[in-house]
Structure 1
């Protein structure tokens, strides 16, 4: 179902801004990683494109990071999203069994880890609820690929807006300003892959 014309999707988060309990160790993990890299709060926030106050709220558990924030912080701290989400096992089993790992939730999105930790390519299955992070625009090094499994997804790349349905996919340079939002009221489910590797770009960035 389409969003109401001329309006923004409603914010389905609680009025009190309740923080999901699924990531109790996220805040201290972010703080510890920053300190291990020898970065001040101000330096890390500047590199991530955040305000120091926002990063401080992430590190104290008063806010949960969005997917773009996780990607940016993982790059700055020289680690993988899987470590930020608590997947610390050094093993790299090539087979990932369905149901073998618990999902994590942050800022309304649900993350299912689909790959091994410590890899240059991060693979996730995402569930994006309607009304979550619709106005968050991010840019960061690397490439992103996504494939819609269920629902409809609104992908904004620069000035262009695309609506993707089940079976549709997108592959783009993540230096292009972009944002994701569910376009159907039941949300959207997608496979998501990110890598810091950059392919030669034949066209200028918008």
Structure 2
């Protein structure tokens, strides 16, 4: 299901909200625990703080002015993709829109502090702090001789080849990266990453994620496997 603006809804009920329900409340059949916090005041405050009119902010976020107005007055609940678009428009994070307070984090990541995690034959080592807007990993990609699955998701990705060679397919174009080469691309571009040498490849990998405890509703799965 999509909105008039073409944005998919993930949790919004398809039926109308009863007239006696509170503004922004979930519709029938939607548990209260699944509803997003009331973000209407923060959306309105951030837009005004940025000096944007309703029309200008809506155009940047890919919404109609009427739809953004309903979000700001709690007559509609935003989907998570909408929150991501609005966070980018206002230069903030989904966490701030949801009123979440980030805990204090250690800025230093010591070698060997985190255990490697394996998924689909790939080996991941954390190279950055958890819960940031960017997730940094050191990744070992095995050689399989077969192309990896195509991935498409919100955000950006950056990779830097340390050892071996990497085959990177972006849409219909295939690139072969040597040690020292890097790539930076929009994750909404269909992409595949695989080792091009029999000894496999090792790379540094950074990608952006929605910063919210509710992000799994949109992205799903283990964070290590969202690349």
- Give the TM-score of the pair, scaled to structure 1: 0.51
Residue 191 of structure 1 pairs with residue 204 of structure 2: yes
Aligned equivalent of 1:158: 171
Q: 1:60-81 CA deviation, whole Å, 9 max, x = no partner?
A: xxxxxxxxxxxxxxx9xx99xx
Runs of 4+ in 1 over 4 A off after TM superposition: none
The counterpart of 2:130, out of the listed 117, 130, 143, is: 117
Q: Provide the C-alpha distance between the structure 2 equivalents of 1:116 and 1:135, rounded to a whole number of angstroms.
A: 27
The alpha-carbon deviation at position 146 of structure 1 amounts to: 0.2
Structure 2 CA distance for partners of 1:186 and 1:143, relative to 1, 3 Å: same
Question: Which structure has the larger Rg?
Answer: 2
Tell me, yes or no, if the aligned pair for 1:149 and 1:189 is still in contact at 8 Å: yes
- Mind listing any 5+ residue stretches in structure 1 that lack a counterpart? 1-36, 40-74, 80-89, 198-206
Aligned equivalent of 1:100: 113
Aligned equivalent of 1:180: 193
Structure 2 CA distance for partners of 1:135 and 1:116, relative to 1, 3 Å: closer
The alpha-carbon deviation at position 102 of structure 1 amounts to: 1.1
Structure 2 CA distance for partners of 1:91 and 1:101, relative to 1, 3 Å: farther
| Higher relative contact order, chain-length normalized (CA < 8 Å, sep 6+) | 1
Task: State the SS of the aligned residue for 2:138.
Answer: strand
- Mind listing any 5+ residue stretches in structure 2 that lack a counterpart? 1-32, 36-83, 85-93, 96-102, 211-227
Aligned equivalent of 2:68: none
Q: Provide the C-alpha distance between the structure 2 equivalents of 1:116 and 1:179, rounded to a whole number of angstroms.
A: 25
Task: State the SS of the aligned residue for 2:193.
Answer: strand
Q: Give the alignment's Cα RMSD to 1 decimal.
A: 2.8
Tell me, yes or no, if the aligned pair for 1:152 and 1:166 is still in contact at 8 Å: yes
Q: Provide the C-alpha distance between the structure 1 equivalents of 2:183 and 2:136, rounded to a whole number of angstroms.
A: 14
The alpha-carbon deviation at position 91 of structure 1 amounts to: 5.5
The alpha-carbon deviation at position 133 of structure 1 amounts to: 6.7
- Give the TM-score of the pair, scaled to structure 2: 0.47
Residue 169 of structure 1 pairs with residue 189 of structure 2: no
